[in-house]
Chain A
Amino acid sequence: MIEQIREKARELLESGELDVVIGYAEGSDPTRTTPIFCRKPEDTDKLVLDGRCVNTLPAYLNKRHEYPKKGWKKTGIIGKGCDIRAITQLIAENQLKRDEVYIFGAECEGVVAHPEKWDGSLHEGNCASKCSACDVKIPLDTDFYPGEKPEVDRSGPYMVSAPALATLVKMDDEDRFAFWRDDFDRCFKCYACREVCPHCSCNICITDRTMPSWVDQAAHTKGVFGWHLTRAMHLVGRCTGCGECTRACPVNIQVDLFNQKMKEVIQESFDYKSGYSMEVKPPLITYNTDDQETYIR
């Protein structure tokens, strides 16, 4: 599979159709892979694609990062199904044009929840929970797919995949608040959750604004709650559920649980799943005269 992608990527770099192909290469230890920017045809020999490829590479396509400064006319990107969902959403939100990217897709067997759990293979004990409810193992929209791409029914509703969410929603408010307060105590606001997110698109994040300061910058209880709840709300109806925010958190705070819960709410309220259409706009960034008003009392 990766051989065919390498071959195609090499061909498109040689012909000059693509300026760069963003993919995964071997990391600095055997449990890891790392993002690679292939500019020369021979760089494509380094490409790998397996259960260790956890990064959501479309984060590099987000205008917050340096993608627009590079001057690439057409960017090749290797995507798992969930990554391609993120690209779809970036296009739906006018953050990216479809013809700026060339998408290499392949069937995904799932990825490890965290590199430190990689023991040589992918199995039930180390596979990320997002993969258990995945309907894009055969990716949605690709320019290159090795072999024949089968038709897949993706009409089902969004399903929460994290088992931890079931535990949390059963708690009463006080216990749940105590849980987050204790977990957030470890947060030092490194913003890894923000930087790895393909959908955190603001040029200047609200937490970085100081005139006025909307969210306390310090990592005390108020500053940490302020950040995580703001982040969760800003991604409602936009998060495509790659789970990178949780995976990237250096102190194991499962911040994607907020996003998963909100995805469930958006499914119920608006019958909307983000990342499946480049045309349908996310419900909270559009206005329709027949929008529900039941929340106004």
Chain B
Amino acid sequence: MRTATLQKNDLDRVIDLLSQADYRVIAPQNQPRLDGPDSIDVAVFKEIQSGDSHNIGEGLSTTGIKPFLFPKDEPLFAYENRGKKVVLTEVSLDFPKTVILGVRPCDVASVSSLDAVFSDKNAGFNDELFTKRLEKTTFVSYSCTEPDVSCFCTSVGLAPDSDKGSDLHMTELPDGTLHVEVKTKAGEKIAAVIDALLSGDGDAVARQQAGVAAAEKITRLRDSAPILPWLQDLGNFGDEMWQRLGEKCLGCGACTFECPTCHCFDIVDENSGNKGYRVKFWDSCQFDHFTLHASGHNTRNSQFERYRNRFNCKFKIYEDVFGEKGCVGCGRCIRGCPVNLDITEYMAEVAHKAAIPNAMSADPDFE
């Protein structure tokens, strides 16, 4: 498909043209900061209007694009008690035509992990709230050139210049221009809208080199190949490492909510007088009441078991059920963890244990 060159400072024009073509444009934007040293830089994906400043190409946003496909809360329907009748009102599934601009390769790859759960490809149930949003969404991805210390996409089969899941992929070249690759029909439509800004065929060699140079900057390198067979050996479910590495976990949900592939949710009726909404909202397997039964029994009674579940979900359950990893290596769970619980330490530990045949798994000194 088509390749071309785009000037980086034309990204503002790209936003203008897409807005004029009736796209809702979502792009990463820096959030305002308060005075004083306690404030840190935070960038999130938000709807952008012509003239707003964005930070496309400046590092990985703090949170990903998940909320635009799977919002942190949304009503499923409204209800009202009218005498003996309950009147239900469906929510609209007419979502706006949307383009998400400047998505990093890890984030755009994560869409397939969400799709695996919410579409009927595997699960046999089609969650229209997700799939109808996805149908209306076009992803314009943007290669990483400066991965940071927490990035580990190359350890889970991706790369800083991956275009998996992308409709139109951009890579910033050392000369400051963007190499544009159209990947899908939806991407062609975007290319047609911004056609006036595209020139030539791009520089495929420089684009390749930019990808290689970025991958070389990644320092968190793990061998993920031994992980699946090690986890599939159920004898390792009781290994000492789960408690040793996981006992510092305090049980917040920062890792799961920042994660682009975590998809668990809860449903509750929010009542007000005789009417209300049934609401779907994000839930986290790290919360102590996530597996709490009505009887009072909790199947994951300790925090380390909850993190063991999270690791198994990413590297075993996803593989078993969907044939792919549930982790894209964005590193947000590492950056966001208050106690520096690091998923790549688990990966390293598993690789280490898998390399030692018949290793002693239970540590007798550990209480």
Q: Is B289 in the interface zone, CB < 8 Å from A?
A: yes
Tell me whether B34 and A254 are in contact (CB under 8 A). yes
* Nearest 6 interchain pairs by C-beta: A218-B281, A218-B73, A250-B336, A248-B338, A164-B34, A34-B340
A243 contacts B40, CB within 8 Å? no
In the assembled complex, the Cα of A238 lies from the Cα of B210 at a distance in Å of 53
Question: Is A252 touching B40 in the complex (CB atoms < 8 A)?
Answer: yes
The answer to whether A37 touches B248 (Cβ under 8 A) is yes
B253 lies within 8 A of A251 (CB): no
Do B268 and A218 have beta carbons less than 8 Å apart? yes
Q: State whether B251 touches A254 (Cβ < 8 A).
A: no
Task: Tell me which residues across on chain A come within 8 A of B150, comparing CB atoms.
Answer: 29
From the candidates A167, A204, A213, name the one contacting B35 in the complex (CB within 8 A). Answer: A167
**A73 interface residue, CB < 8 Å from B?**
no
Among B32, B72, B365, the one with the most A-chain Cβ atoms within 10 Å of its Cβ is B72
B37→A113 contact, CB < 8 A: yes
The yes or no answer to B31 lying at the interface (CB within 8 A) is yes
Known contacts A34-B339, A39-B366, A208-B289; decide if A250 and B281 are in contact (CB<8 Å).
Answer: no
Q: Does A147 contact B (CB under 8 A)?
A: no
Q: Is B49 an interface residue (CB 8 A)?
A: no
Please give, as numbers and ranges, the residues of chain B lying within 8 Å of A177 by CB-CB distance. none
B177 CB-CB contact with A under 8 Å: no
Q: Which residues of A contact B (CB under 8 A)?
A: 27-29, 31-37, 39-40, 55, 59-60, 65-66, 69-71, 113-117, 124-129, 162-164, 166-168, 182, 186, 188-192, 194-196, 204, 208, 210, 213, 216-220, 223, 243-244, 246-248, 250-252, 254, 256
- Given A128-B37, A192-B250, output 6 extra A-B contacts at Cβ < 8 Å: A31-B149, A39-B365, A55-B339, A117-B37, A196-B250, A252-B31
- B100-108, B192-200, B254-262: which lies at the interface: B254-262
- Are the CB atoms of B251 and A195 closer together than 8 Å? yes
Q: How many residues of B contact A (CB 8 A)?
A: 54
Please tell me if the beta carbons of A117 and B256 are within 8 angstroms of each other in the complex: no
Question: In the complex, what distance in Å separates the CA atom of A35 from the CA atom of B339?
Answer: 7
Interface 0/1 of B297-341, CB less than 8 Å to A: 000001100000000000000000000000000001011101111
Q: CA–CA, A193 to B270, complex, Å? A: 24
**Distance in angstroms between the alpha carbons of A248 and B73 in the assembled complex:** 22
Q: Which residues between 7 and 52 of chain B lie within 8 Å of chain A, taking CB atoms? A: 31-42, 44
Residue of B36, B253, B279, B336 near A218 (CB, 8 A) is B279
* A196 and B266 contacting across the interface, CB-CB below 8 Å: no
Q: Does B345 touch A at the CB level, under 8 Å?
A: yes
Nearest CB of A to B35, in Å: 4
B78 to chain A, nearest CB (A): 14
Question: Is B175 an interface residue, CB under 8 A from the partner?
Answer: no
- In the bound complex, CA of A27 to CA of B365 (Å): 23
Interface of chain A, main secondary structure: loop
Q: Is B94 an interface residue (CB 8 A)?
A: no
With A and B bound together, what is the CA distance between A37 and B246 in angstroms?
11
Q: How far is the CB of A239 from chain B (nearest CB, A)?
A: 15
Task: Decide yes or no: A34 and B37 within 8 Å by CB, A29-B149, A55-B338, A217-B281 being known contacts.
Answer: no
Q: Are A220 and B336 in contact (CB under 8 A)?
A: no
How many whole Å from B112's CB to the nearest CB in chain A?
22
Contact indicator B268/A213 (Cβ below 8 Å): yes
Closest to B36 in A: A163
Assembly CA distance A71 to B367 (angstroms): 9
Q: Nearest chain B CB to A148's CB is how many angstroms away?
A: 32
A contact residues around B37 at 8 Å (CB) = 113, 117, 124-129
Scoring B35, B62, B266 by chain A CB atoms within 10 A of each residue's CB, the highest score goes to B35
**Chain A residues near B266 (CB-CB < 8 A):** 217
Is the Cβ of A192 less than 8 Å from the Cβ of B254?
Answer: yes
Cβ–Cβ contact A251 & B252, under 8 A: no
With a cutoff of 8 Å between Cβ atoms, the chain B residues found around residue A116 in the complex are 40, 335
Complex Cα distance, B302 from A194, in Å, reads: 18
Q: Is A70 within 8 A of B367, CB to CB?
A: yes
The reply on B63 being an interface residue by CB < 8 A is yes
CB distance from A147 to the nearest CB of B (A): 30
Closest residue of A by beta carbon distance from B67: A188
* Complex: chain B residue closest to A186, CB-CB: B44
- Smallest distance from the beta carbon of B235 to chain A beta carbons, Å? 24
B39 contacts which of A59, A210, A248, A252 (Cβ < 8 Å)? A252
B332 to chain A, nearest CB (A): 8
How far apart sit A32 and B62, CA to CA, in the bound complex (Å)?
18
Q: Would A33 and B340 count as touching, CB distance under 8 A?
A: yes
- B247 at interface by CB-CB < 8 Å: yes
Contacts of B73 in A (CB 8 A): 218-220, 223
Is B342 an interface residue, CB under 8 A from the partner? yes
Q: Flag if A247 contacts B38 (CB, 8 Å).
A: yes
B residues near A40, Cβ cutoff 8 Å = 365
Q: How far is the CA of A101 from the CA of B284 in the complex (A)?
A: 32
B344 CB–A CB distance under 8 Å: yes
**Contact (Cβ within 8 A) B38 A162:** yes
**Chain B 236-278: CB-based contact to A (< 8 A → 1; otherwise 0):** 0000000000011011111011100000001010100000000
